[in-house]
Chain A
Amino acid sequence: MESIKLRKITSVWVITVLILFIVSITLGILMRLNQGEVISQSPVTFYSNLTTHGLTMIGIWFVAGMAAVNYLMQRYIKTSYAANVIALVFTVIGVLMLWTATFIGKFHAAWTFLYPLPFKEMGAATWATLLFLASLTVLGIGWLIWSISLMTQILKKYSIAQAFAWQHFKKNPKVETPPFILISMITLIGVIACLFAAVVLLVLFYAEYFSKGNFVNDALLMKNLTYFFGHTIANEMLYLGLAVIYELFSEVSGRPKWKTTWYVALAWNFTLIFVLTAFFHHLYMDFVQPEGLQIIGQLASYLASLPAAGVTVFSVFIAVYRTKIKWSLTNLLFFIGIAGWVIGGLGAVIDSTISNNIVLHNTLWVPAHFHTYNAMGNVLFSLGFFYWFSTQFSENSKVSKFTTLTLTLLLIGGIGFLLAFYFGGADSIPRRYSIYPSDFPMAAPMATIGATFATIYLIAILIFFFNIYKRCLKILFSPS
C-alpha cells in the first residue's frame, strides 16, 4: 500500500514541478525580452518577476531532487509518507503565498532578499514583505520536516558511522553502505544545516520587523546567513540529483550496480565540508569580511571540484567508455546533465577565483554559470528521473520517438541561451538590470538572442511535458 501511495505523490510532485518550471521559464524569457527592449515592463514588474523566477526555480528543483530521493530511498528503508505529504502541502501553500507577495504585492527584493532591502523597498505593498517572509517560513518548515524525517529513517537502519560509510575506509567492511544512502545522508545534513541558517535569518528579520526600530540587524552577519542558506541549498539540490544518478545510471544502462569504495566514501565526506564553506565566495567583494574566510571561500570552491571530477564524473566515464550500454532518454539526460554540470562548474571555479571575481562579480557571468549547471545540469538529472519514473508503470513503450527531438532542442536552446549570458559577462554587462544603459550597445541584442534560444529550450520542455504527463496522471489515478 505504502509504495502505491508513494508512487502517486511522486507523480503529483513531477507534474507540479514541470508546470511551475514552464511558468518560471516563461518569466525568464519575458525578462530577457524586456532587457532586449522587445517588450516593455515597469522596473517593479521586472524585478518582482526576477524574484518569482529565482525563488520558484530554486524551490522546484530542490523538491524535485527530494521527491526523487524519497522515492528511491524506499528501496532501502521505510520512509514517512506523512512527511512527504506535509512537504507537498507546505510547498504548494508557500509558493502561492510567495506568488501573492510578488505578483500582487509587487515584492521585488530578488531571491537573495539581502538585508535590509525587504524593509526598504519602494513600489511594493506594505503587506508584501511580511507575506514574503511568511512564505519562506512555510516552505522552510515543510522542507525541514521532510529532510529530518528522511535522515531519521536512514539512521534507524544505519549507524552514524555507517551512514557516512566510514567502515569503507577499512578492508573488507562487514556492512555495505549503498552509494545512494551515503550521498543522501551527506546531502540531507547540508540541507538541514542551511535550512537552520534560514530559520535564524528569518527570526532576525521578524525581530527587526516587529521591534519597530528598537532592534537593528548587522548587515554583514545577515549577508553571511543569506548566502550560507542560498548557496548551500542550490548546491545540495545538485547533490540530490547525483544521488539519483548513482542509483539509476547503471540500472537503466543494464550494467552492474555502482558500489561504495573507500574513495567514494572519502570523496563524499570531504564534499560535505567543502559545500558548507564554499559560500564565502559570495562575499569576496565585502572587504570587511575577515581575509581568512575569503581564502577559505576560494580553497573550498576549488577543492569541491576534486571529489566531483575525480569520483563522480570519472565513474560516469568508466561506466560509459567502450562499454555497450542501453541508451534511453533517462541515461542520455543524465550523461548530458553531467557534461552541463562540469561546464557550469568550470565557469564557477573561474568566478570563485578572487582575482577574477573582482571583474566578474554581479555581471552576467554569474547567471551564465549557474544557469549552466542548473538548466543544463541539475534540471536534466531530475528530468531523467521523471522520465524513468513515468515509464515504470506503463506498458506502452512507444515513447522514444521524441527523444532525439527533445534532446536536440534542449541542446540548441540551452547552449544559445547560455552563450548570450557568458559573452555578456565577458563584456562587463551587469546582471539584474531591467534595461541596459546605452554604454552597452550589445546588451539588448544579446538579451533578445538569449530569449530566442530560451524559447527553443522551453519548446523542448513542453514536448517533454506532453510526453510524460499522461503517464504520470495514469499513475496518480490508477486504482490503489
Chain B
Amino acid sequence: MPLILQFDFMIRALAAGAIVGALGPVLGMFLVLRRFSLIADTLSHVALMGVAIGLATGVHPSLVALAAASAGAITIEYLSSRQRLPGDVTLAIVLYSSLAVAVVIISGARGFSVDLFSFLFGSILSVSELDLFLLAGLGIAVLVYVTVFFSELSQASFDPALARVTGVRVGWINLGLAILTGATITLSMRVVGVLLVGALLVIPVLAGERLVSGLRAALGVGVAVGVASAIIGLTVAFYKDLSAGGAIVLTSVVFLFVAQGYAVLRDRRRPFSTE
C-alpha cells in the first residue's frame, strides 16, 4: 500500500478533498456564468468574520462562520436582485465590511492567531470524522439541488429577465444557490483556507468550459478537474511537504492552462468558429 494511504488522517483528507473538489465547480459553474465568480471570495471573508466572532466569544467558530456565510449570501442576493445595486458593487461592500469587522476583532482579542491561521490557510490534515460527515451531507444536498433545478439555474444565469418571463422564480433559485455556496465555502475552508477557497469554485469551471460545449458536459468536466486537482494536489503536498490548499489550487491552474492550450490548438484547426 502506498505510504499516503497508510495514515487515517490522509484518507480523511483525500475524501474531504475529493468532495470539496466536486462541490466547488458544481456551484461555481452557475456563479461564473452569472459573472458572479467573486461571490465565493466575498463569502469566504464573511465566513472569516464568523470565525473571528466565534473565536472571540468562545462559540464554535465553524458554526458562527456557517451562520455568517448564509446571512452574507442572503444579503448579497437581496442587494443585487432587480438591480438594486450592481453585482460587483454589492460584493465589494459585503467583502470589505466583513473583512474589516474580522480584522478589528482579531486585533482586539489577541491570543488565537494559531487557530486563525488554520482557517486562513486550511488544515486539511486535521479534518475530523465529523467534518467529513458534514461535508458528505452537504455534498448530497448540493448535488440534489443542482440536478433538480438544473434548468432553472441555467436559465437564471443565461438571462434572468428571459427566465422570469419563462416562469422561473429567479430570485428563489439564486438565493438557494447562494446559501449552498455559503455553506460549501465554510466547510471547504478547512481544506484550502479562506484565502484560496474561491479558486476551487472558479478555476475548474473555466477549464471545463474551455474543453467541451454544453452545460451538462461542462459541469461534468469541471467536477472531474476539481476532484483530480484535489487528489493530485494533496498527494504532491504529502510527499513534498507543501501546503495542501496551495498545491490543490496550483494543480487546478495547471489544468486550466492545459485546457486553454488545447482550446487554442483546436480552434486554430477549425477554419471558422464564428461567422
- B is bound to A: no
